[in-house]
Structure 1
Amino acid sequence: MPAKYITLNAKDGSGSYTGYLALPDSGTGPGVVVIQEIFGINTPMREICDQLANQGYMALCPDFFWRQEPGIQLNDKIQKDWDRAFELYQGFDVDKGIDDIQTALSWLRKADGSNGKAGVIGYCLGGFLAYLSACRTDADAAVGYYGVSIDSKLDEADNIKGHLLLHVATEDEFVDKAAQQAMHNALDNHPHITLHDYEGMNHAFARPGGTHYDEKAAKKANDRTLEFLKTRLG
């Protein structure tokens, strides 16, 4: 089925924002909220949604920077876009972002063709938000790729009732060794959390075309993600 943009209404009544929605050919399946990196709903994020739709998921990528600059799409290969992305990241309200994720989860659960289950997948900033979604929303499953700042919110892990999968790049330029160790210390024994380390990999190793893209590691992480989603969402 063709992809389209939909409109979501903010939980706090402050306005509305768009989301890119890709549906499986059957028009039915579990829902997945795809949480963007710091570059907006750009081509890589839309491609991830399309790929998930091909696997049978209703994939929705909301615009998380809509309060600052609606509809922005940035290119990770252009320096001025990197600069703008970090400005948006620094001005991003995490708590309102989590509210937007809950809104998207609720929308997917009620959508025509939904099986009633919904999870999240996030990358970079989105990896952090995926972790917080596991802690603060009703997501049935959450997957975080090279999430930043997770070590600052480890005290929330006890709130996780769904299931969480984290992909950790051991040479992540934005998540140092101390942060990685803190994550393992706090999360390894949690019954609902699985961490996988990718030795020698840097941040964004699963972003096709990116500076640190590694096909072998990306495939391993993506295969693990699909198996996890199949188990948790159907």
Structure 2
Amino acid sequence: MTEKITTTAGSIDIEATDGAGVFKAFTVTPSTRPTGAVVVIQEIFGVNDAIRATCQEIAEMGYIAVAPDLFWRQQPGVDLTDKSEAEWKQAFALMNGFDQDKGIEDLKSALATARHLPGCNGRAGTVGFCLGGRLAVMMATRSDADVNISYYGVMLDKLVPEFNAIRHPLLIHIAEQDEFANEAVRTAVLAGVQGKPEITAHVYPAVQHAFARVNGVHYDRRAATIANGRTAEALMAALG
């Protein structure tokens, strides 16, 4: 009989490498030891209920989940939903003001911190959504993460030239009817994946952007279940 995994939620401090300060990360720790760690990369809505729920699910799978506050340099503690026009406007303003290169450096700090958390076996990867899906691909090209998983990442076609730098598994989940990534973007990404065994891409038919966002307006249970199953397999293969 499999032992039930219990979890504990909390927060940790992570120091920025550029001396700008310390930022927070929401964490959920499973009772299993030792285990790998997963850095959960937020959408444009910050570390909100959906991201916290994702961390909980990952911890219940047996992995340490760490969700850093990537907007801390602009506005610490952003926690928005996709339910109102005002929140969308605020989220887009934050995204437009977000320095992605600084964000990658903060994610590298979070990854290094996660590897050394109590109970971690030293292996760590990323799972990102929307903006975080793009950053997960950037972590695949620019960091030593053991695995990276991208859900409906934005502007991924611009990252195709960096695909040759990928050395660890990258799993890309693509929504066929993504309003933020048209057919041309999708075609460019799928072409860029060809001949690169480290990268696997799946297209989910007839679903929109954020089809796996917990309680989101475009949530699709069937597609989310399939994608999350593939994510679970990728995490198990890379993190143990």
- Corresponding residue for 2:4? none
Equivalent pair of 1:188/1:194 in contact (CA under 8 Å): no
| Deviation, structure 1 residue 27 | 5.0
CA distance in 2, matches of 1:229, 1:27: 16
C-alpha contact (below 8 Å) 2:41/2:135 kept by paired residues: yes
Partner of 2:130: 124
Partner of residue 25, structure 1: 31
Quote the Cα distance in structure 1 between the aligned partners of 2:145 and 2:91: 27
SS in 2 for 1:23: strand
1:7 Cα deviation after fit: 0.6
Indicate the residue corresponding to 1:161 in structure 2.
167
Tell whether the 8 Å contact from 2:54 to 2:214 is kept in structure 1 after alignment: no
The answer to whether structure 1 residue 71 and structure 2 residue 77 are counterparts is: yes
Q: How far, CA to CA, are the matches of 2:57 and 2:214 in structure 1?
A: 13
Q: List structure 1 runs of 4+ shifted beyond 2 angstroms.
A: none
Aligned to 1:111: 117
Q: Judge conservation of contact 1:188–1:195 (CA < 8 Å) in 2.
A: no
Mean alpha-carbon deviation: is it higher for 22-31 or for 73-82?
A: 22-31
Gaps of 5+ in 2: 1-6
Aligned partner of 2:219 in structure 1 is 213
1:188 aligned partner: 194
Aligned residues: 234
- How big is the shift at 1:28? 3.4
SS of corresponding position for 2:145: coil
Question: For structure 1, which segment, 46-55 or 26-35, has the greater mean C-alpha deviation from structure 2 after superposition?
Answer: 26-35
Alignment of 1:192-207 (within 5 A): 192-207=198-213
Counterpart of 1:124 in structure 2: which amino acid?
C
SS in 2 for 1:50: helix
In the superposition, the TM-score normalised over structure 2's length comes to 0.96
Does residue 231 of the first structure (1) align with residue 211 of the second (2)? no
Q: What SS does the corresponding residue of 2:8 show, helix, strand or coil?
A: coil
TM-score normalised by length of structure 1: 0.98
Report the Cα distance in structure 2 between the residues aligned to 1:59 and 1:119, rounded to whole angstroms: 10
Q: CA deviation at 1:26?
A: 2.5
Residue 84 of structure 1, aligned match among 81, 90, 96: 90
Quote the sequence identity (%): 45
Does residue 145 in structure 1 map to residue 173 in structure 2? no
For residue 204 of structure 1, report the CA deviation from its aligned partner: 0.3
- 1:208 deviation in Å? 2.3
Counterpart residue type for residue 107 of structure 1: T
Deviates more, 1:173-182 or 1:199-208: 199-208
Q: How does 1:2-81 map to 2 (within 5 A)?
A: 2-26=8-32, 28-81=34-87
CA RMSD of aligned residues (A): 0.8
8 Å CA contact 2:46, 2:70 repeated in 1: yes
Deviations 1:32-51 (A, max 9, x none): 00000000010110010011
User: Could you tell me how far 1:13 is from its partner in structure 2?
Assistant: 0.9
Mapped contact 1:28–1:56 kept (Cα < 8 A): no
| Matches of 1:49 and 1:208, distance apart in 2 | 11
Segments of structure 1 that go 5 or more residues without pairing to the other structure are none
Residue 98 (structure 1) aligned with residue 104 (structure 2): yes
